[in-house]
Structure 1
Amino acid sequence: FSGALAGGPIKGGRVAGASDSKGAFPAREPHSPLDVLRMMYDHLGVDATVSYTDYTGRPHPVLAGGKVIEGLV
């Protein structure tokens, strides 16, 4: 997907990743929506690696995956 991010710690004029010649698939550094959420949580001070346990003992992670997109911050 393509997206534009602004504000907070985002550095302007940056591009993260690239697509193939037809724009159909990532050519390098594919990112997911989880990566964008992880980056937002990281800069808001939310520990995305934490899991909370419900009343039946099942763990529920704050965010199941994702990584900070280093090229944008």
Structure 2
Amino acid sequence: GRTPQVQWEAPWNGGRGHYGRVFSAVVAGGGFKGGRVVGSSDARGESVKDRPIYPWDLIGSMYELLGIDPGAKLPHPEGKAITAIPSKEDGYETGGRLTEIL
């Protein structure tokens, strides 16, 4: 979301920044358990307090519910090892599957 602080200096001229590390999402249906909150932010909503979740964690959880192996190797014309979602082995941070709602 947007920060409450207004940035008056150029080039923003009265615009507001973003909280790039913290966001919310509603996930419903498709086999996900309802009525759960996963993770939390600090009191100001600026940083992750516990249970960081990355976009590929959510996508991997969706793949699992669809019966797709998130770690599956995908075909590549140059024979490169490409996986369905990034992993720690690829150098990406991950919070893991959303087991709380699977």
TM-score normalised to structure 1 length: 0.87
Structure 1: tracts of 5 or more residues without a match:
none
1:69 aligns with 2:98: yes
For CA contacts below 8 A with separation 6 or more, give which structure has more relative contact order: 1
What is the DSSP-based 3-state SS (H/G/I as helix, E as strand, rest coil) of the residue aligned with 1:70?
Answer: coil
Aligned position for 2:65: 43
Q: Which amino acid aligns with 2:40?
A: A
Structure 2: tracts of 5 or more residues without a match:
1-22, 88-93
Q: Which segments of structure 1 move beyond 6 Å, counting only runs of 4 or more?
A: none
The alignment of Structure 1 onto Structure 2 pairs a total of residues equal to 73
Cα RMSD over matched residues? 1.4
Aligned position for 2:43: 21
Deviation at 1:57, TM superposition (A): 2.2
User: 8, 12, 24: which one pairs with 1:2?
Assistant: 24
Higher helix share: 1
Aligned position for 2:90: none
Identity of aligned residues (%): 32
1:11 aligns with 2:27: no
Q: Which moved more, 1:57-66 or 1:6-15?
A: 57-66
TM-score normalised to structure 2 length: 0.65
